[in-house]
Structure 1
Amino acid sequence: MKMTEEAKELLEKSMKEHDCDCLRITAEPGCCGASLNFTLDQLKSGEQPIKINDVSVIMDEQAQEQTDALTINAENGQLVIDGGSCGCGSSGCC
């Protein structure tokens, strides 16, 4: 996963406002495979975050596998995730 400077600035501002020190990314099972959830959170005792553009990120193993090609970007003052693709085919669930 990559993160642009603009996204880093937005995340750091939001983390400060909400008294958080990491971005937590988890994979949740869904109808078409796992969906990624992005949450601002506090590091828990013993957790070893990875740094993405100097932002502490905690990811479970499944989330790490799904984020390799993603970039957290900023557009019009909002965070967006670029590079994701849907693997559902024609099932219409995406």
Structure 2
Amino acid sequence: MIITDEAKVVLEEMLKENGQDSLQATLQQGCCGSSLYFTFTNKKADDQPVLVNGINVLMEGEAVLKTNTVTLKINEEGKLVVEDTAQASGCC
């Protein structure tokens, strides 16, 4: 996973606003298989986050593999987006 410097600033602001300290990546099953789903959370004492550009990221199992092709960045409109180079365009 890559978090660009611009996305890091936005994520840090969002984490602070929500009183959270970590980004959590989990898998959700959909019509076309599993997809990454991101939420904010607070890490627990036994959690072992991965530090990505200064952001704590919690992920386990297959979510770790899915994040290998993911970049969190800011688009032309200034919005935070998830870009996955392994995901085909369209569904199924």
- The TM-score normalised by the length of structure 1 is 0.86
Deviation of 1:67 (Å): 1.2
In the alignment, structure 1 residue 78 sits paired with structure 2 residue 79: yes
- Distance of 2:81 and 2:65 partners within structure 1: 19
Code of the residue aligned with 2:46 in structure 1: it is G
- The TM-score normalised by the length of structure 2 is 0.87
- Distance of 1:62 and 1:86 partners within structure 2: 18
Amino-acid identity (%): 39
Residue-pair matches, total? 90
- After superposition, the C-alpha distances for 1:19-62 in whole angstroms (9 at most, x for unaligned) are 00000000012221101110011112300100000100001211
Runs of 4+ in 1 over 4 A off after TM superposition: none
Partner of 2:9: 9
Per mean C-alpha deviation after superposition, the further-off stretch among 4-13 and 77-86 is: 77-86
- Distance of 2:69 and 2:35 partners within structure 1: 15
Task: Give ranges in structure 1 of 5+ residues lacking alignment.
Answer: none
Per mean C-alpha deviation after superposition, the further-off stretch among 15-24 and 32-41 is: 32-41
DSSP 3-state at the match of 1:68: helix
DSSP 3-state at the match of 2:69: coil
- Quick check: which has more Rg, 1 or 2? 1
DSSP 3-state at the match of 1:45: coil
